[in-house]
């Protein structure tokens, strides 16, 4: 799995436009082959901080996405940002849940059951 995360800050006069573009892209990007999910969040407070996250089944699907009109719109949003964005691209080889915590702590099956039932 590949995760693309973009965090940006905007001047007040650009915030509405940037938010509208990102909201409008959620569905179209999500419908692209290999896209697991998209998330858009906006921070609260005086500053306009927007975060856009995409999760992809593999690098090939993400690379194909980079050539789409939707990604060109994301690049246009980046151009509106007041500061250079924070861009993170994570290649995630596996995903674990609380079972990893239990494993590291050496919890026995009985302790696991007791913990889950409490």
Per-residue pLDDT of 33-91, as tens digits, reads 999 999 999 976 677 999 999 999 999 999 999 999 999 999 999 999 999 999 999 99
Q: Report yes or no: 2 and 55 within 8 Å, Cβ to Cβ.
A: yes
Per cent of the chain over pLDDT 90 is 70
| CATH for 2-117 (3.30.70.1520, 3.30.70.100, 3.40.50.2300, 3.30.2310.20) | 3.30.70.100
* Domain chopping of the chain, boundaries: 2-117
Cα 68 from chain centroid (whole Å):
18
C-alpha dist (Å) from residue 68 to 72, 73, 109 = 7, 9, 49
To the question of pTM greater than 0.85 for the whole model, the response is no
d(CA 106, CA 90): 29
Q: Is the pLDDT of residue 109 over 70?
A: no
């Amino acid at each position: 799995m590949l995760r693309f995360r973009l965090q940006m800050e905007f001047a007040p006069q650009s915030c509405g436009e940037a938010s509208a573009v990102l909201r409008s892209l959620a569905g179209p990007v999500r419908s692209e082959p290999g896209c697991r999910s998209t998330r858009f969040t906006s921070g609260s407070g005086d500053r306009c901080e927007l975060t856009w996250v995409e999760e992809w089944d593999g690098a090939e699907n993400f690379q194909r996405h980079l050539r789409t009109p939707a990604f060109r719109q994301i690049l246009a949003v980046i151009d509106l940002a007041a500061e250079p964005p924070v861009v993170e691209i994570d290649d995630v080889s596996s995903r674990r849940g609380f079972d990893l915590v239990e494993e590291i702590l050496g919890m026995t099956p009985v302790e696991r059951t007791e913990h889950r039932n409490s």
